[in-house]
């Protein structure tokens, strides 16, 4: 994979309305799936469950709304969350011969912080990121030796202080960021985007196995 940016590459991948549907499905919003950025060390979220709940660690919609209105969050293991996201995940798996997930990033609160809570960082997986709603500035720097840094880095220690890519992403715009390439996302408005992290077969621990998500999509005749 190479660093790349294309305007209007994938329009209408995910909307605020579709996200509303997902977060209102309480059994889907498990504590393992919902990741809150900037959570205080001593901050705890508690809730009660109805007697018929089969899994108790699922965020109730009212609390999800509270967190979304005040934080940046992302949802993992979402590559089967919609038909479009599932289809695009499968396409990436075929193109790059990889396993692919989908992370939904949400910065919906009114006072959006300019700097992404991750800061300048690199990932250990290749990523394709589709902007779905709002505007986000993405900066990408040249590849670093991952063995010399943590995933969050100081630009003064990076191999190049000048970004090799600096773009404002609007709905439909898509960016390709290979692993070990530092990048920074700066939300300019409320933001909804989907990141597709990809892990190749040769980078997996042999004990993890090579099992792709079942991309079948069930449709029922009426």
Go through 18-40 and write b for each residue having 16 or more CB atoms within 10 A of its CB, e for each that does not: bbeebbeebebbbeebbebeeee
3-state SS assignment for residue 23? helix
Q: Helix 61-68 to helix 16-23 angle, to the nearest 10 degrees?
A: 140
Please state, in angstroms and rounded to a whole number, the distance separating the CA atoms of residues 102 and 104: 7
**Domain boundaries 4-37+58-201, corresponding CATH code:** 2.60.120.650
Confidence (pLDDT) at 207: 59
3-state SS assignment for residue 74? strand
220 token code pair: 């029922």
Q: Are 23 and 58 in contact (CB under 8 A)?
A: no
Query: pLDDT digits over 117-166, tens only?
Result: 567 888 999 999 999 999 999 999 999 887 777 666 666 555 557 899 99
Q: Are 26 and 60 in contact (CB under 8 A)?
A: yes
Query: pLDDT digits over 18-70, tens only?
Result: 999 999 999 999 999 999 876 555 567 888 888 998 888 999 999 999 888 88
Of 45-54, 62-71, 95-104, 206-215, the poorest mean pLDDT is in 206-215
52 token code pair: 């018929």
DSSP letter at 133 equals E
Give residues with Cβ within 8 angstroms of 203, minimum separation 6: 124
Confidence (pLDDT) at 86: 98
218 token code pair: 């069930």
Q: What is the mean pLDDT of the chain?
A: 87
pTM: 0.88
Domains of the chain: which residue ranges? 4-37+58-201
Q: Is 206 exposed, middle or buried (0-12, 13-18, 19+ CB in 10 A)?
A: exposed
- Write down the residue that tokens 């597709």 correspond to: 196
Q: Are 131 and 11 in contact (CB under 8 A)?
A: no
Give residues with Cβ within 8 angstroms of 130, minimum separation 6: 9, 10, 13, 14, 88, 172, 173, 174, 193, 194, 196
């Amino acid at each position: 994979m190479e660093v790349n940016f294309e305007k209007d590459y994938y329009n209408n991948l995910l909307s605020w309305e579709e996200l509303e549907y997902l977060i209102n499905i309480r059994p889907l919003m498990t504590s393992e799936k919902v990741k809150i950025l900037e959570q205080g060390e001593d901050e705890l979220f508690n809730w009660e469950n109805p007697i018929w709940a089969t899994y108790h660690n699922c965020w109730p919609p009212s609390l999800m709304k509270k967190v979304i209105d005040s934080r940046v969050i992302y949802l993992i293991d979402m590559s089967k969350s919609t038909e479009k996201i599932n289809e695009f995940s499968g396409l990436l798996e075929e193109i790059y011969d990889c396993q692919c997930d989908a992370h939904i990033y949400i910065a919906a609160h009114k006072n959006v912080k300019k700097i992404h809570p991750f800061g300048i960082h690199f990932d250990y997986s290749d990523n394709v990121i589709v902007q779905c709603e709002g505007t986000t500035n993405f900066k990408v720097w040249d590849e670093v030796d991952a063995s010399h840094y943590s995933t969050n880095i100081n630009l003064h220690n990076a191999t190049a202080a000048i970004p090799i890519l600096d773009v404002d992403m609007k709905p439909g715009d898509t960016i390709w960021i290979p692993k070990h390439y530092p990048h920074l996302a700066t939300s300019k408005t409320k933001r909804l985007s989907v990141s597709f992290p990809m892990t190749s077969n040769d980078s997996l621990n042999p004990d993890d196995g090579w099992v792709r998500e079942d991309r079948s999509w069930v449709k029922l005749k009426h």
